[in-house]
A and B are shown apart, each in its own frame.
Chain A
Amino acid sequence: MRNDNAGWTGNSIIHLEGITKSFYLGTDHELEVLHGIGLEVNDGEFVSIVGESGSGKSTLMNIIGLLDHATSGRYFMEGVDISAVRESALCTIRNRQIGFVFQTYNLIPRTSAQKNVEMPMLYAGVRPQERAERAMALLQMVGMEDRAKHNPDELSGGQRQRVAIARAMANDPAIILADEPTGALDSRTGRSVMDLFHRLHEEEGKTIILITHSKPLAEETDRILTLIDGRITREQQGPFRAHGVPAPDSETLDSDPV
């Protein structure tokens, strides 16, 4: 159901317009965390979001990932006006179109790596046989096939994150959202996880939005958005752009530090 709403024009996969988010603390104390975010992400783009702690990166990511509702503004995903979508349909979109990777891995405890990877497919109603096969293939892709039967508490942080990435890929979503996926890892492990994202981007053509505090990692992506106090203050083209898709509203400010 493509909407023909005014304001949405292009073929971007994510289109945000004047998104604000307020938290209500107490009865009439309101805290606005995002102040009118506008953002376009094209299909197949690898975008990174940087910014100080508390600048609203995760809040924005949660809205993009349909885990949270914006207080005002408009959000189209693949042309669909999200504000018009029912809660249960949002679950389905999260399930099929979005893969989450968290800083804290968030694997389901007491559940094997393979079962964790199968989880999104379970909720999508994929048959057990097919689930198992695809889970094994994904674990192989992230180099974790020999740990398929291990529970999360038997895996290292880097291994857990690999399993989590395999899980994010389970239903072959168009978009991968990763909130500081390397934040809890040492730089070498972080590097290998980052390489995985590049592979998903280049080989699988995934649209990836990555939140990171690491400037070098951010600079590897197509586009860097800097968030300060709930506003996107800067957009930069990264030096190693893989697809060459021009970002619609980007201004190139290579000289500025991130």
Chain B
Amino acid sequence: MFFENIKLAVSSLFANKLRTFLTMLGIIIGITSVIAIKTVGNAMTDSVQEQMSAFGVNNVSISMYPDFNNTEVSNMDYDSIPKEQFTQEMLQDMLKTYSSQITALSVEQFLSSSKVVPDPDVPEVYANIDIDGVNSGYFTAENITMIDGKIFDKNAFENGSFQAIVSDFFVNNLYGGDTKKALGKQVDVTVNDETTETYTIVGVYRYDVSKMGIGEGTATKDVSTNFFVPYKNAVDQQPERQKLGITNFTLVTSAGTDTMAFADDVKQFLTDRLQENTLYTVDAFSMQSMVEESKKTMDSLTLAITAIAAIALLVGGIGVMNIMTVSITERTREIGTRKALGAQNSAIRGQFITEAVILCLVGGLFGMIDGIIVGYVACHFMGYVAKVPLSSVLIAFGFSTAIGVFFGYYPASKAARMDPIEALRYE
């Protein structure tokens, strides 16, 4: 009976292809938007999660910059804005005040990108690097895993020694993956295409592909990995930077700290310390706040598109109801005949509900395909990696079936309740 109903439904839908298609449009549009939202939403969530794990859930990043909301600042020429920095004294005070919440303070100073070619006669052996000056807290904040050797010692940090910690990619490229061979090696590095400095390798860390990502189309060999040097070393080579001092850093909070509240506290603390300089503002930013922020944007976006989808589905559903009513009126004699042949009301109802459901399911199938395409295109333009959620399929079929049953029920019941005589006499 069930299969007979399906066959019947399909043949009657095929008999009116254009009408069937037009009726499906609402459902197609509705399901398309639902699936597209799901796809984009999931991609956004994934991307946020990725950033979150890259940044570290417990980290609070703090920076200061000229307050452009201040008209005094916005009217000034950028270079003429007096420089400001977090002084050693301010930082020490902060660490003391929040000693129970802070486990590490991380600073970073980029120096230069470069290409290391140990032997000019063998140009195919090389490694791309980004020279990055870091302090000891950086390794905690970024959760760097050491494979071999060790982090710079206290002296190296304080003196800004020419020591380096390189990635396993670097070792693969230059030393065939043998970290023991790499340790203690001296490498000549051209800094800012000007000077050449010699660094001694003291450690090897694991390059986290998922964290840093590999640019599209870049061969593993060409990936530019961080070439860590002591913070002071990087600063010493950039005298103009030295003057600027520290304007941003990252704090690693102890487990269980409410990072959002902590970020607010630290921000207030540092703002108070900057009192005399109203031209600058301090920003403290936790992963949690970023998550909240992106959640808010996503929620409002989802809400807007969901509303559109809901309207489309509602309109689609009403369309289905309308066409079922028309179809049932057209087939009044058929219904009368079926009743004369002994069809129970439930059989007639089942037949037309099946028809409505099939109509919606086919619409849902098209909508699903469209939605996946739209989702992919949207993700592409928004710079996310699209992943079709499996739930899409379930949503498409679930919604379609529900709409079919809901909007098909009334017309189908009308058909089921028809008086057989009147139906047979219908002209």
Contact = CB atoms under 8 A, between A and B. Distances in A.
Interface size class of A (residues with CB under 8 A): 20 to 34
Contacts of A136: none
B342 A123 contact: yes
B38 to A, nearest CB: 38
Q: For A87, A102, A109, A125, which residue has the most chain B Cβ atoms within 10 angstroms?
A: A109
B22 interface: no
A109 B1 contact: no
B344 A123 contact: yes
A243 interface: no
A230 B146 CA distance: 105
Given A110-B15, A122-B4, A125-B1, A67 B424 contact: yes
B340 interface: yes
A167 B420 contact: no
A94 B345 CA distance: 13
Contacts of A67: 339-340, 420-421, 424
A65 interface: yes
Interface stretch (B62-70, B109-117, B206-214, B330-338): B330-338
A135 B380 CA distance: 58
B334 A108 contact: yes
Contact of A122 (B1, B15, B424): B1
Interface size class of B (residues with CB under 8 A): 20 to 34
Interface in B42-79: none
Q: For A87, A91, A94, A171, which residue has the most chain B Cβ atoms within 10 angstroms?
A: A91
Interface string B329-359: 0000110111111111101000000000000
A100 B421 CA distance: 13
B145 interface: no
Interface in A170-213: 171
A100 B423 CA distance: 15
A62 B342 contact: no
A75 to B, nearest CB: 16
A102 B338 CA distance: 13
Nearest to A92: B342
Contacts, number: 64
A65 B340 CA distance: 8
A119 interface: yes
A57 interface: no
Interface in B1-48: 1, 4, 8, 11-12, 15
A88 B339 CA distance: 11
A215 B15 CA distance: 42
Contacts of B4: 122
Nearest to B333: A106
A167 B341 CA distance: 9
Given A67-B420, A122-B4, A100 B11 contact: no
Nearest to B425: A58
B342 A124 contact: yes
A62 B420 CA distance: 10
A100 B343 CA distance: 13
Contact of A91 (B15, B337, B344, B421): B344
Contacts of B420: 67-68
Q: For B15, B342, B345, which residue has the most chain A Cβ atoms within 10 angstroms?
A: B342
Contacts of A109: 334
B330 to A, nearest CB: 10
Given A120-B342, A125-B1, A106 B11 contact: no
Contact of A106 (B343, B344, B345, B424): B424
Contacts of A237: none
A87 B15 CA distance: 32
Contact of A119 (B333, B341, B345, B421): B341
Contacts of A107: 337
A98 B339 CA distance: 12
Nearest to B1: A122
Nearest to B8: A111
A88 B345 contact: yes
Interface string A86-99: 01100111111010
Interface in B395-427: 420-421, 424
3 tightest CB-CB pairs across the interface, nearest first? A95-B342, A106-B337, A94-B342
